[in-house]
A and B are shown apart, each in its own frame.
Chain A
């Protein structure tokens, strides 16, 4: 967690986007969510998708009819009715 705080602080001080330094980032728009800099899929279900963010961070997307529309090494496009985005 300390390292996360350092990276976050550095990004803020250098005024660069966090994802440029490898931070997990999620953008939602309507029925679509774009997850960048992920470290893999931890679980996949129609009502929740859990994504690893590196350094112990986890992103949980909750909703209905969720599915991974496309997935590459760095990015993941998730479609469905999103109800919550939770960070652990």
Chain B
């Protein structure tokens, strides 16, 4: 904000008020000397020729200056008035606006004292829901008063309630709580190298090859083995001494046969995205939701819904308990899809089998059968895998 002389309006101008005056007459400089002698501070004195000048004084000195000018037979004209009584009158006229602004500022300040956003990072195996519940039990939840929370206590509470976590850090930054966790690494199997143990078959199969690093091999390639049968013994015979007890180590590869079956409701049709769509908007304040649309009872079963939620706030500074929600609906087209469903289930069965064996799938057959309401998918696979597992008993 600038006054008529181009000077930025300061706090003094705003509170006390300043008046821009133009004085005209003979010996107009004498007005300046009189004012200075009376200790009236003058600013922005500007000559407007031999008989006129402009100056700025505080509003409270205006009357005295006018009296001085009258004594000198000078004409004084007021050019502008800034701040002071005019500003106060303006504020009085706009009191509701001022109150609203103050209430908004107070609202933002109050909102920044509560937690409205919990950001969890570093969790892979422990679900965010479990971490949120553990935090809630420790005192941190949506809308909690963060100045009363202790980051150290929250961290300890989290570690006590979730033994899967090795380390946790809780940073309370305004309305946002950032939780960093480090999951505990799984404890490796610890065993004594010299402890006696056999290797037995975990599945039936025909042995194709063996690899023994410790112990005595009891099977040969081409031999049929049954589940639980000893494959590599931990007792090693000696020609010159007593049999030695060792921990059997090695691999026994065999051709195995697996069958996996899945049953699911008979699919009527397959849904694919596409077609027309529409968007709905809503605002969530705290836990309350306000919709900006009507006819919310319209069926939306034929639409795919994507929800985008944007929280209001300044990242790293504060977060308000207000979210803008945008729901994008895309029409779904339906197509018959029993084959596709069967293929999908077969692929899942294949993936499950692949993860459960230590080897590879050599060949497979998939059969699909239907009953009245069910779809049955069966995967039969021939695999080559290491069937030797440790047996400590």
Contacts and interface: CB of A to CB of B under 8 A. Distances in A.
A67 B47 contact: yes
A2 interface: no
Contacts of A41: 29, 32-33, 36
A69 B47 CA distance: 11
B75 interface: no
A19 interface: no
Nearest to B38: A73
A72 B28 CA distance: 17
Given A41-B29, A42-B29, A73 B47 contact: no
Contacts of A66: 47
Contacts of B102: none
B44 interface: yes
A71 B38 CA distance: 11
B85 to A, nearest CB: 23
A68 B42 contact: yes
B153 interface: no
Contacts of A45: 47, 50
A20 B45 CA distance: 27
Main secondary structure of the interface of A (DSSP, over half): strand
Given A40-B33, A42-B29, A67 B41 contact: no
Nearest to A66: B47
B267 to A, nearest CB: 86
B32 A68 contact: yes
A71 B29 contact: no
A68 B45 contact: yes
B252 interface: no
Main secondary structure of the interface of B (DSSP, over half): mixed
Nearest to B42: A71
Interface residues of B, number: 18
Contacts of B29: 40-44
A70 interface: yes
A12 interface: no
A46 B33 CA distance: 18
Contact of A70 (B37, B39, B42, B46): B42
Interface residues on A, range: 10 to 19
B61 to A, nearest CB: 12
Contacts of B42: 68, 70-72
A69 B50 CA distance: 18
B39 A72 contact: yes
Contacts of B33: 40-41
B53 interface: yes
Contact of A44 (B32, B36, B39, B43): B32
A67 B36 contact: no
Contact of B41 (A40, A44, A72): A72
A46 B47 contact: yes
A73 B53 CA distance: 19
Interface in B5-64: 28-29, 32-33, 35-37, 39, 41-47, 50, 53, 55
Interface of B: 28-29, 32-33, 35-37, 39, 41-47, 50, 53, 55
Interface of A: 40-46, 66-73, 76
The 3 closest A-B pairs by CB, nearest first: A68-B45, A40-B33, A71-B42
12 contacts: A40-B33, A41-B33, A42-B29, A43-B29, A45-B47, A46-B47, A68-B42, A68-B45, A68-B55, A69-B45, A71-B42, A72-B41
Given A68-B32, A68-B42, 14 more contacts: A40-B29, A41-B29, A41-B33, A43-B29, A45-B47, A67-B44, A68-B44, A68-B55, A69-B43, A70-B44, A71-B41, A72-B39, A73-B36, A73-B37
